[in-house]
Chain A
């Protein structure tokens, strides 16, 4: 449907264009206006540009994300296009087969959108509220830590180890996420702590 419509519009515009120059030369200026109205506006006109970097590999190519909405409070943003940042010294506007398809990553059908819970022995996830999930996790953490925390070793040296819970951090999160994560995990005494650099 969309394709058909745009083709028809294109034919109309092209037809107008063909005659346009000759007609305009004869003083029929209205034809140009008709042409301008028939041409679909450039799709990125009116979008908001945001600078980002590609989340995949460590080349960290600059990207520009184009969103609907002007960042005002009531306007919901939706990213409609992503392309390489031509000002970026490393990638100079280019993107690879992965980076070129970033839009489909953001809008992937298999993104997580709601907290889910699976109980012991259960065969499926079910939705759970954020508060309920976080309360439950904090409870599980505290009970496990209280039960298994090692305050001192056999020689009486303070060691503060919590070995029965571990944490894997993500190598695609920001430094700022990483530092906050570090503070929370280390202060608890967790030592089974790694990121993708390990593998």
Chain B
């Protein structure tokens, strides 16, 4: 989230699209209710299902899953055509005036540079025109035919309300009502917030779904303001933290990236990370990259990371592909190329696409280690559970270890909520039986591995035997120790170059902020964006001050918010070009003639003059990007593409199937189904009574929603003679599940391009362990293809057939 849960109370309009906050994030949704009750804010819900969020909305519009980009680009077109743009904001704070190089174009659903064989683009034409001074050329009048604004206007011209209705199935009158409500927030004193979740991410173009709304929010001037922003409602309690700390194939903590094979040494690695400003005076904060990186390497390898060995840069692994994401890894596993696998609180047998493939892949492992507080299906993938896990244990040679761990109630540490608050928690009980903390298990494994390398030698032991391990008890590091490492500390005393008697940073002290980090090895910092979370003043994440001056919703002294305890990102954009709040009632920070002051930590250098320095300080432009240059694989602008499995062809580019830049492996392409055999558009979702695959282990929740079901419309039920509560068989080209049918008014058929499209809803909470009845999940059906940029699987839009059935026992 750019903003926080408590900030939602400041909004005028909430749009929930790609999420269902009332059911999936109920206690966060209360701030929507608060905004409605106290400010008269309105709520729009756009969803294929009439969800509980929709039931309390001021306006609901249906949409076919997987068509959000068409819907949003149409809304951008509406705002441009009807002059509902926050012009001053757009001109000053976005790249709308920037000129794009000659040669960039878009035709028949493809941008320039497409290579069909590689399913990839040569992105060199997606770039600005630079002047002789090295800065990007601009046209403040926005009239230049190659300025971003004009290119955008041309790009969205195809998305008329009629076209949106053809693609999305949203009736034109409803669509125009939504556009009108959204467009009103272009006024300086009106703000909209976007609340989205996996309904946007789990698509082969998930990143571009989110970009589309971000662009709309920029055009309306809604980013950086109280009550505005792009608010990702993250799934798990610490999915934000795990991502911040870089537990992904290609990441280093704090959104630094692992080197690739091309970055043969540290200077080469740094050469592409210079982040030279693209406009005069800009902060381009990533210019500090080397400080973050060297401090990270010092926290990894301590004294063994020296200036002489480039701070052990060569001990990091390098990537030869964009990433060994889960889809790629399970594909390799399926080919027998992976021997060992660890699942630390992760249940891929139920949470990764195409369960059949996942099951076969796990069966080819030599060993699988599962650490979990609950008995997962993944740990039992080898177990014959009849129709619910139809495997032959005698044929599966995998050694499996199930290691019991603590749950939240027995563990101490911090979690990062969706609003970037790092909140500390304490244990209230001992672990059950022989269960241990994950930190104990990881330390024990590491100590053993290191001892083996010291004793026996082996393949390149250096990064293992030299890993910095400064813990009081090596076998059992404690949470405060890792928190201090992530915050950062002074490795060697730093004195003032002008006056060597003056100590700037004293050896052994905790850092106050990432502003103190250095690139000479004198500071160590595990995760630069967390710097400030555990300073010499103590644990900032454990703060419990509930005061909130002027009721802004910031709660500045409750816990710690990364970065730098900032509560609203890009908050400099809450003020106009001269530094006065766009809306005085929404004052956040303002320029007082010498400094930025207000209710939040300024997201800009405190003394940066308003007209000189732009608000988007992480970008070399200093502005936000409506045109994203070559930074995304599938286009500098979003474009409508159908899901890989769609009931209709892409009406704008009929030859293109799915996202043309998304990776899909050969076997998985062959496993895609078509609408002649699988005519219905399926989507997966969560219920308010359940959390993923955990709460089926919880007695109360298992009683509340005991049994797997699928949701279909009355019309489809009638067409297929399916009884409410009767068994149905749901199949895709990859698998079959049996479920009870819930025949509902919440789903209605849509008319897309003249064709009736039936939507099938498939909730995801059942398996074969726990207190609930045994059942199935959508991943038995879903395709093995991910988003072009980040490889999140396409769970939200796929094709199935539905037939009446006698249930699994007799079918």
Which residues does A use to contact B, with CB under 8 Å?
48, 50-62, 65-67, 76-79, 82, 84, 87, 89-92, 94-102, 104-106, 108-123, 125, 128, 130, 133-142, 144-146, 148-149, 151, 153, 155, 157-199
Question: Smallest CB–CB gap between A154 and chain B, Å?
Answer: 10
Whether A120 pairs with B338 at a CB distance below 8 angstroms is no
Whether B242 pairs with A195 at a CB distance below 8 angstroms is yes
The residue in chain A whose Cβ has the minimal distance to the Cβ of B465 is A187
The residue in chain B whose Cβ has the minimal distance to the Cβ of A51 is B426
Whether B26 pairs with A96 at a CB distance below 8 angstroms is yes
What 1/0 flags go to B348-362 for Cβ under 8 Å of A?
100110000000000
Whether A140 pairs with B366 at a CB distance below 8 angstroms is yes
Whether B403 pairs with A133 at a CB distance below 8 angstroms is yes
Residue from the list B237, B418, B486 in contact with A53, Cβ < 8 A:
B237
Question: Smallest CB–CB gap between A4 and chain B, Å?
Answer: 23
> Given the complex of chains A and B, what is the CA–CA distance between A118 and B384 in angstroms?
14
**In the assembled complex, B793 has its CB within 8 A of some CB on chain A:** yes
Residue from the list A92, A160, A199 in contact with B351, Cβ < 8 A:
A199
Whether B434 pairs with A115 at a CB distance below 8 angstroms is yes
Whether B418 pairs with A137 at a CB distance below 8 angstroms is no
The residue in chain B whose Cβ has the minimal distance to the Cβ of A134 is B444
Whether A168 pairs with B26 at a CB distance below 8 angstroms is no
Residue from the list A66, A97, A115, A175 in contact with B241, Cβ < 8 A:
A175
Whether B433 pairs with A114 at a CB distance below 8 angstroms is yes
The residue in chain B whose Cβ has the minimal distance to the Cβ of A125 is B402
Whether A199 pairs with B352 at a CB distance below 8 angstroms is yes
What 1/0 flags go to B23-42 for Cβ under 8 Å of A?
01111101100000000000
15 contacts between A and B (CB under 8 A): A48-B428, A79-B428, A97-B689, A108-B374, A108-B698, A138-B445, A138-B449, A157-B318, A159-B318, A164-B338, A171-B235, A174-B414, A175-B530, A176-B483, A179-B245
Question: Smallest CB–CB gap between B553 and chain A, Å?
Answer: 8
**List of A residues within 8 angstroms of B402 by Cβ:** 112, 115-118, 125
Residue from the list B328, B345, B546, B792 in contact with A173, Cβ < 8 A:
B345
What 1/0 flags go to B387-417 for Cβ under 8 Å of A?
0000001111111111111011111111111
The residue in chain A whose Cβ has the minimal distance to the Cβ of B460 is A151
User: Known: A79-B428, A163-B332. Is A58-B27 also a contact (CB below 8 A)?
Assistant: no
Whether A195 pairs with B479 at a CB distance below 8 angstroms is no
Whether A113 pairs with B404 at a CB distance below 8 angstroms is yes
> Given the complex of chains A and B, what is the CA–CA distance between A169 and B234 in angstroms?
16
**List of B residues within 8 angstroms of A76 by Cβ:** 430
> Given the complex of chains A and B, what is the CA–CA distance between A119 and B367 in angstroms?
9
Question: Smallest CB–CB gap between B23 and chain A, Å?
Answer: 9
> Given the complex of chains A and B, what is the CA–CA distance between A79 and B343 in angstroms?
27
Whether A116 pairs with B401 at a CB distance below 8 angstroms is yes
**List of A residues within 8 angstroms of B373 by Cβ:** 111-112
**List of A residues within 8 angstroms of B416 by Cβ:** 175
**List of B residues within 8 angstroms of A125 by Cβ:** 400, 402
Question: Smallest CB–CB gap between A135 and chain B, Å?
Answer: 6
Whether B237 pairs with A60 at a CB distance below 8 angstroms is yes
Task: Rank and list the top 6 A-B pairs by shortest CB-CB distance, nearest first.
Answer: A170-B345, A174-B413, A113-B433, A112-B404, A50-B428, A60-B417
Q: Which of B66-74, B106-114, B152-160, B319-327 contacts A (4 or more CB under 8 A)?
A: B319-327
> Given the complex of chains A and B, what is the CA–CA distance between A79 and B433 in angstroms?
15
User: Known: A105-B407, A141-B445. Is A193-B318 also a contact (CB below 8 A)?
Assistant: no
Whether A91 pairs with B27 at a CB distance below 8 angstroms is yes
> Given the complex of chains A and B, what is the CA–CA distance between A149 and B438 in angstroms?
26
Question: Smallest CB–CB gap between A100 and chain B, Å?
Answer: 8
> Given the complex of chains A and B, what is the CA–CA distance between A90 and B5 in angstroms?
7
> Given the complex of chains A and B, what is the CA–CA distance between A99 and B701 in angstroms?
10
Whether A176 pairs with B479 at a CB distance below 8 angstroms is yes
Question: Smallest CB–CB gap between B719 and chain A, Å?
Answer: 33
Whether A187 pairs with B464 at a CB distance below 8 angstroms is yes
Q: Which of B284-292, B309-317, B505-513, B639-647 contacts A (4 or more CB under 8 A)?
A: B309-317
Whether B315 pairs with A160 at a CB distance below 8 angstroms is yes
**In the assembled complex, B205 has its CB within 8 A of some CB on chain A:** no
**In the assembled complex, B243 has its CB within 8 A of some CB on chain A:** yes
Interface size range on B against A? 35 or more
Whether B344 pairs with A181 at a CB distance below 8 angstroms is yes
Given contacts A56-B694, A134-B444, A188-B464, 5 further A-B contacts (CB under 8 A): A137-B445, A157-B318, A171-B236, A177-B411, A197-B248
**In the assembled complex, B550 has its CB within 8 A of some CB on chain A:** no
Q: Which of B79-87, B91-99, B451-459, B495-503 contacts A (4 or more CB under 8 A)?
A: B451-459
**List of B residues within 8 angstroms of A199 by Cβ:** 202, 326, 351-352, 792-793, 795
Interface of A is mostly: mixed
**In the assembled complex, B267 has its CB within 8 A of some CB on chain A:** no
**In the assembled complex, B668 has its CB within 8 A of some CB on chain A:** no
Whether B404 pairs with A177 at a CB distance below 8 angstroms is no
**In the assembled complex, B544 has its CB within 8 A of some CB on chain A:** yes
The residue in chain A whose Cβ has the minimal distance to the Cβ of B700 is A101
> Given the complex of chains A and B, what is the CA–CA distance between A122 and B306 in angstroms?
50
> Given the complex of chains A and B, what is the CA–CA distance between A157 and B248 in angstroms?
23
> Given the complex of chains A and B, what is the CA–CA distance between A92 and B253 in angstroms?
32
Residue from the list B343, B415, B448 in contact with A175, Cβ < 8 A:
B415
Whether A57 pairs with B404 at a CB distance below 8 angstroms is no
**In the assembled complex, B191 has its CB within 8 A of some CB on chain A:** no
The residue in chain B whose Cβ has the minimal distance to the Cβ of A62 is B423
> Given the complex of chains A and B, what is the CA–CA distance between A129 and B510 in angstroms?
39
Question: Smallest CB–CB gap between B666 and chain A, Å?
Answer: 20
Choose among B233, B369, B422 the residue with the greatest number of A CB atoms under 10 Å from its CB. B369
> Given the complex of chains A and B, what is the CA–CA distance between A199 and B378 in angstroms?
16
**List of A residues within 8 angstroms of B337 by Cβ:** 163-164
Residue from the list B28, B340, B413 in contact with A177, Cβ < 8 A:
B413
Question: Smallest CB–CB gap between A94 and chain B, Å?
Answer: 5
**List of A residues within 8 angstroms of B467 by Cβ:** 183-184, 187
User: Known: A110-B770, A195-B239. Is A79-B409 also a contact (CB below 8 A)?
Assistant: yes
User: Known: A108-B697, A110-B770, A174-B412. Is A145-B479 also a contact (CB below 8 A)?
Assistant: no
Whether B434 pairs with A118 at a CB distance below 8 angstroms is no
Residue from the list B332, B345, B409 in contact with A172, Cβ < 8 A:
B345
**List of A residues within 8 angstroms of B340 by Cβ:** 140-141, 144, 164-166
**List of B residues within 8 angstroms of A90 by Cβ:** 5-6, 27-28, 31, 417
> Given the complex of chains A and B, what is the CA–CA distance between A4 and B211 in angstroms?
61
Whether A96 pairs with B688 at a CB distance below 8 angstroms is yes
User: Known: A56-B694, A169-B247. Is A50-B791 also a contact (CB below 8 A)?
Assistant: no
Whether B383 pairs with A123 at a CB distance below 8 angstroms is yes
User: Known: A94-B27, A170-B346. Is A159-B245 also a contact (CB below 8 A)?
Assistant: no
> Given the complex of chains A and B, what is the CA–CA distance between A72 and B427 in angstroms?
14
Question: Smallest CB–CB gap between B561 and chain A, Å?
Answer: 12
Whether A111 pairs with B697 at a CB distance below 8 angstroms is yes
Whether A169 pairs with B346 at a CB distance below 8 angstroms is yes
**In the assembled complex, B264 has its CB within 8 A of some CB on chain A:** yes
Question: Smallest CB–CB gap between B524 and chain A, Å?
Answer: 12
What 1/0 flags go to B221-254 for Cβ under 8 Å of A?
0000000000001111111111111111100010
The residue in chain A whose Cβ has the minimal distance to the Cβ of B318 is A159
> Given the complex of chains A and B, what is the CA–CA distance between A69 and B65 in angstroms?
52
> Given the complex of chains A and B, what is the CA–CA distance between A61 and B483 in angstroms?
21
Q: Which of B517-541 contact A (CB under 8 A)?
A: 526-527, 530
**List of A residues within 8 angstroms of B436 by Cβ:** 130
> Given the complex of chains A and B, what is the CA–CA distance between A87 and B548 in angstroms?
13
Residue from the list A155, A159, A176 in contact with B413, Cβ < 8 A:
A176
Question: Smallest CB–CB gap between B395 and chain A, Å?
Answer: 7
> Given the complex of chains A and B, what is the CA–CA distance between A130 and B403 in angstroms?
8
**List of B residues within 8 angstroms of A99 by Cβ:** 27
**In the assembled complex, B555 has its CB within 8 A of some CB on chain A:** yes
> Given the complex of chains A and B, what is the CA–CA distance between A125 and B233 in angstroms?
38
Whether B247 pairs with A193 at a CB distance below 8 angstroms is yes
